[in-house]
Chain A
Amino acid sequence: GAVVSQHPSWVICKSGTSVKIECRSLDFQATTMFWYRQFPKQSLMLMATSNEGSKATYEQGVEKDKFLINHASLTLSTLTVTSAHPEDSSFYICSAHSGTGKANYGYTFGSGTRLTVV
């Protein structure tokens, strides 16, 4: 089945620095990728949707200048948390869609990245 690889699985960074998270589709071309954030005991919240070769669409309340998303190829999307602060500490998960339909086989999650900003 479709596999999405997300790295790193966890990262600790100092306040004010930037962190890049990668999401790769390993055996399919992902026309659309999604970035989610999950705070403890809360649901997955969609941050942004990115389509290969075009600008990402951000959800309301998500700062596009803080969470930079690049989807330069059909197999790679990156999320960069710029000037990270402790309140950005969260679990970030990417999801990729192969564009083959709405059934779940077109919507595969990465393993997530635990970001801790100190």
Chain B
Amino acid sequence: DQQVKQNSPSLSVQEGRISILNCDYTNSMFDYFLWYKKYPAEGPTFLISISSIKDKNEDGRFTVFLNKSAKHLSLHIVPSQPGDSAVYFCAASSGTYKYIFGTGTRLKVLA
């Protein structure tokens, strides 16, 4: 039972355009969400987080939106850069340090 889903395994975007990565979850108890970026053969690195008391969090080119009623969150990258090409994971937790990860979306930013 995949509680956190990233239904798009891959996404290609032109440099300078917006990248939108989506994540859906099923557990309404999740109250904290993270986005990680992962390069091949490396561990994930933190990008941005959001708690369930907010619906938006912004950090530079990265913005995460949370729609609790739809159990959906998205990561927007504007403008997209070639260095953003990586696999992006969303992760969710419900009051503990135990996070459930999605399967990842591979983003390719075309120069």
Given the interface pairs A41-B9, A43-B4, the reply to whether A109 lies near B41 with Cβ below 8 Å is no
Chain A residues within CB distance 8 Å of chain B: 4, 6, 9-10, 32, 34, 36, 41-46, 49, 93, 95, 97, 102-112, 114
Distance from B31 Cβ to chain A, minimum over Cβ atoms (Å): 9
- Whether the pair B97, A107 counts as a contact (CB closer than 8 A) is yes
Known: A46-B98, A49-B97, A93-B44. 18 other contacts (CB 8 A): A6-B43, A34-B97, A41-B9, A42-B103, A43-B4, A44-B89, A44-B101, A46-B99, A95-B43, A102-B32, A104-B34, A106-B97, A107-B99, A108-B46, A109-B36, A110-B43, A111-B42, A112-B43
- Contact pick for B41, options A46, A102, A112, CB 8 Å: A112
